């Protein structure tokens, strides 16, 4: 069964009735969805006790996808990442088995450099065997060399919408991680029922679909609609 999630777990008042009245926002969210994507780790370091609390207050089958810190992707630009990546792994370790994919979202200005990419991926795989996904945003990553290098290190490409680099047709198998930012207005625009159904049809059976169109509250609404298509919720 795929994981249908949103970036964060904020619940707009307009859909509050779909969730329990009691508990923290995360507990209410986790009563309906089986995963979430933590984007705040990109901006700041959380205390290990925070990850421990999140793990302890969510159901056994709940999973957290976690975005890599901007120090790794944007400041260091994937160069010499061993120390910050190891520190990041130690920091999130209290999540235990509830840790889902690590999201490596690259800056739009970061071109594909096979030497740097190979070195950084090798470092990541020497330190971590868990799922890692990458969202590249410079067109140079659309080349076959980049795709093959990503595959060599058992990292999954993110199918993003808008698709700045990789279109759905470039995937030889069903995408395992889809990020929906909203289109035409990024972070705001909602997806139609037809869009949601077509996205669900291409998602890998055990993949993740993350709605990142959170600015207008559309993410939760869209995720609930997709969950209904999976018969998670009453029609």
120-163 pLDDT, tens digit each: 999 999 999 999 999 999 999 999 999 999 999 999 999 999 99
Higher pLDDT: 229 or 112? It is 112
The number of folded domains in the chain is 1
pLDDT of residue 234: 60
Residue 68 near residue 41 (C-beta atoms within 8 A): yes
62-95 pLDDT, tens digit each: 999 999 999 999 999 999 999 999 999 999 999 9
- With a CB cutoff of 8 Å and minimum separation 6, the contacts of 123 are 81, 82, 85
Cα–Cα distance measured from residue 220 to residue 212, given in angstroms and rounded to the nearest whole number: 9
167-226 pLDDT, tens digit each: 999 999 999 999 999 999 999 999 999 999 999 999 999 999 999 999 989 999 999 999
Residue 55 near residue 95 (C-beta atoms within 8 A): yes
- Name the pTM for this structure: 0.96
Residue located via tokens 């929906």: 180
Residue 235 covered by a domain: no
Residue 145 near residue 113 (C-beta atoms within 8 A): no
The CATH code of the domain that includes 61 is 3.20.20.410
pLDDT of residue 88: 98
pLDDT of residue 235: 54
Residue 116's domain comprises 3-229
What does pLDDT average to over the chain?
96
Residue 28 covered by a domain: yes
Residue 234 covered by a domain: no
pLDDT of residue 221: 96
DSSP character for 54?
A: H
pLDDT of residue 21: 93
């Amino acid at each position: 069964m795929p994981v249908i999630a949103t970036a964060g777990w904020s619940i707009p008042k307009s859909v509050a009735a779909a969730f329990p009245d009691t508990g923290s926002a995360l507990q209410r969210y986790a009563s309906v969805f089986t995963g979430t994507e933590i984007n705040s780790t990109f901006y700041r370091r959380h205390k290990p006790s925070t990850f421990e609390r999140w793990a302890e207050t969510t159901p056994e089958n709940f999973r957290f996808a976690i975005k890599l810190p901007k120090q790794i992707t944007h400041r260091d630009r994937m160069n010499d990442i061993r120390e910050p990546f190891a520190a990041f792994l130690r920091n999130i370790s209290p999540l235990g088995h509830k840790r889902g994919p690590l999201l490596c979202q690259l800056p739009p200005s970061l071109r594909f450099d096979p030497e740097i990419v190979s070195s950084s991926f090798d470092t990541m795989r020497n330190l971590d065997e868990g799922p890692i996904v990458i969202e590249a945003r410079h067109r140079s990553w659309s080349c076959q060399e980049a795709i093959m290098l990503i595959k060599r290190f058992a990292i999954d490409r993110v199918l993003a919408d808008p698709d700045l680099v990789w279109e759905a047709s470039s995937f030889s198998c069903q995408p395992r991680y889809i990020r929906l930012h909203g289109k035409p207005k990024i972070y705001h625009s909602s997806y139609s029922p037809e869009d949601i159904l077509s996205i669900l049809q291409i998602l890998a059976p055990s993949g993740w679909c993350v709605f990142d169109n959170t600015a207008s509250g559309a993410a939760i609404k869209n995720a609930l609609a997709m969950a209904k298509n999976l018969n998670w919720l009453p029609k």
